[in-house]
């Protein structure tokens, strides 16, 4: 409460100048006797450096911002979980911006960089508009963008590869003998929706499967919407043997409907989700899912930013993180028999989980996308 002690207070108490106090506190060469006096005074007074004054003078805040649409989104959360420790280890605090679905808010956040309350920023834009590019060009501090940004944009860039991701899934299903592979997508006017739709067509073509419009259903990236979409799909075509879902929630909705319709998963219909969220491991049957490497993208972004903060003037870097297919029960049949219940139970827990009261820290992967589009 009481006005905390400053270096002036210490200087008086120790009978030295504020310059000496500062030098001692910063470990600059000083006579032993002075060091002792200053340390003693600081100790007694319970002195703590004022970060604000320090930042003003040094032009370094030791803070970094992470801006995304919604902390509740597992993809962003996965990034955050990786970003946080990297920054912390480097002595940076993390300022969180959850902008919501409003694109204008992202521009605001970029603009606020001018306030210089952070040394740099990691941003996951919902969409990359003209305004974004303009602000990125004029940004007053280094920015790392997670999600693709056009060549030549003067920022470090970490990308996912949903194209390859979808291909991994389709190849997997194809290898399992599935030939009527449907796509349950989200809105195609979102970045991930569009990318996944296109990738699906390509992947089919590569495998020599025909593209059948009947097999594509558009819903939204929610469980209930996914369920509706799958119900509609099943009413229309009866011989579907695999569902490629554009995210895990849609896939959960698909499982709901398939179960209700009496179809066995994966025997009758195989299901693949996308983003490899915690939900994928929790569902029954557990969900095969494509990880677009959110966690790793977060880590890489943090590292790129730290590099940039140290060095500053190298060329912008672009890193693409490869996707990964995590195979679980929704595409491969259960192991024949169950010997030991304990063993069986633990079987498909692919994720390590953390401290009390809940799970935490899945070591790798989850959702991922360039953007996040909201209808």
Q: Which stretch binds a copy of itself (CB under 8 A): 80-88, 145-153, 168-176, 237-245?
A: 80-88
Locus of tokens 């209930």: 224
CB of 12 to DNA, least distance (A): 11
Count other C-beta atoms under 10 Å from residue 178's C-beta: 22
12 binds a copy of itself, rule: CB under 8 A? no
CB of 304 to a copy of itself, least distance (A): 18
Within 143-182, the residues that bind a copy of itself by CB under 8 A are: none
CB of 139 to DNA, least distance (A): 17
CB of 183 to a copy of itself, least distance (A): 15
User: What Å distances lie between residue 138 and 112, 147, 156, 157, 343, CA to CA?
Assistant: 12, 19, 14, 16, 57
133 binds a copy of itself, rule: CB under 8 A? no
CB of 31 to a copy of itself, least distance (A): 27
- Kind of pairing, strands 324-326 and 288-291? antiparallel
Q: Which stretch binds a copy of itself (CB under 8 A): 31-39, 145-153, 209-217, 353-361?
A: 353-361
Q: Binding mask 36-75 vs a copy of itself (x if CB under 8 A, - otherwise)? A: ----------x-xxxxxx-xx----x-x-----xxxxxxx
Q: Where are the alpha helices (DSSP H) in 244-293?
A: 248-260, 278-282
CB of 277 to DNA, least distance (A): 43
Question: What's the burial of 289, exposed, middle or buried (CB within 10 Å: 0-12/13-18/19+)?
Answer: buried
Q: Give 66-106 as a DSSP string.
A: EEES-TTSHHHHHHHHHHHHHHHHTT-EEEEEE-TT-HHHH
User: What Å distances lie between residue 131 and 128, 255, 325, CA to CA?
Assistant: 8, 40, 35
Q: Give 134-182 as a DSSP string.
A: HHHHH-SS-EEEES---TT-SSEEEE--HHHHHHHHHHHHHHTT---EE
Q: Which stretch binds a copy of itself (CB under 8 A): 90-98, 167-175, 211-219, 302-310?
A: 90-98
- Chain centroid offset of residue 141 CA: 21
CB of 97 to a copy of itself, least distance (A): 8
Structure-block tokens of residue 371: 């953007």
Structure-block tokens of residue 78: 């996965």
d(CA 221, CA 113): 32
Within 285-304, the residues that bind a copy of itself by CB under 8 A are: none
49 or 201: CB nearest a copy of itself: 49
Query: Which three-class secondary structure state does DSSP give residue 57?
Result: helix
Within 235-294, the residues that bind a copy of itself by CB under 8 A are: 247-249, 252-253, 255-257, 259-261, 274-275, 277-279, 282-284
User: What Å distances lie between residue 256 and 231, 251, 327, CA to CA?
Assistant: 10, 9, 19
8 or 363: CB nearest DNA: 8
Count residues contacting a copy of itself (CB under 8 A)? Answer: 99
CB of 175 to a copy of itself, least distance (A): 26
Site residues (vs DNA, CB under 7 A): 3, 6-8, 15-23, 25-26, 29-31, 33-34, 47, 49-50, 53-54, 56-59
167 or 263: CB nearest a copy of itself: 263
Of the candidate residues 67, 215, 227, 302, the single one contacting a copy of itself (CB under 8 A): 227
Count other C-beta atoms under 10 Å from residue 224's C-beta: 14
For residue 16, the partner it binds in DNA, a copy of itself, none, with Cβ less than 5 to 8 A by kind, is DNA
């Amino acid at each position: 409460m009481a006005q905390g002690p400053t270096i002036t207070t210490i200087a008086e108490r120790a009978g030295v100048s504020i310059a000496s106090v500062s030098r001692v506190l910063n470990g600059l060469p000083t006579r032993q006797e002075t060091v002792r006096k200053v340390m003693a005074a600081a100790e007694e007074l319970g002195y703590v450096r004022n970060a604000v004054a320090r930042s003003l003078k040094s032009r370094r805040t030791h803070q970094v911002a992470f801006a995304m649409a919604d902390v509740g989104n597992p993809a962003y959360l996965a990034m955050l979980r990786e970003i946080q420790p990297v920054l912390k280890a480097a002595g940076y605090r993390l300022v969180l911006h959850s902008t919501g679905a409003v694109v204008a808010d992202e521009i605001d956040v970029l603009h606020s960089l001018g306030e210089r309350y952070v040394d740099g920023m990691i941003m996951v834009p919902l969409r990359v508009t003209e305004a974004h590019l303009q602000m990125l060009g004029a940004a007053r501090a280094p920015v790392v963008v997670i999600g693709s940004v056009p060549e030549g944009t003067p920022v470090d860039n970490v990308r996912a590869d949903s194209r390859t991701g979808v291909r991994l899934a389709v190849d997997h299903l194809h290898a399992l003998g599935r030939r009527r592979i449907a796509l349950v997508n989200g809105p195609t006017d979102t970045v991930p929706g569009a990318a996944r739709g296109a990738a699906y067509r390509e992947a089919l073509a590569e495998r020599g499967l025909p593209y059948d419009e009947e097999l594509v259903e558009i819903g939204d990236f929610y469980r209930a919407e996914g369920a509706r979409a799958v119900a509609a799909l099943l009413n229309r075509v009866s011989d579907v043997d695999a569902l490629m879902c554009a995210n895990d929630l849609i896939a959960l909705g698909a499982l709901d409907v398939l179960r209700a319709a009496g179809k066995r998963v994966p025997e009758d219909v195989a299901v693949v989700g996308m983003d490899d969220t915690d939900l994928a491991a929790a569902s029954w049957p557990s969900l095969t899912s494509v990880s677009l490497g959110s966690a790793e993208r977060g880590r890489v972004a943090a590292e790129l930013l730290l590099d940039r903060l140290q060095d500053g003037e190298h060329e912008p870097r672009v890193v693409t993180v490869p996707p990964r297919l995590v195979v679980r029960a929704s595409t491969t049949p259960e192991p024949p028999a169950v010997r030991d219940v304990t063993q069986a139970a633990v079987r498909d827990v692919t994720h390590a989980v953390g401290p009390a009261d809940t799970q935490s820290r899945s070591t790798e992967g989850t959702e991922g996308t360039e953007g996040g589009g909201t209808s």
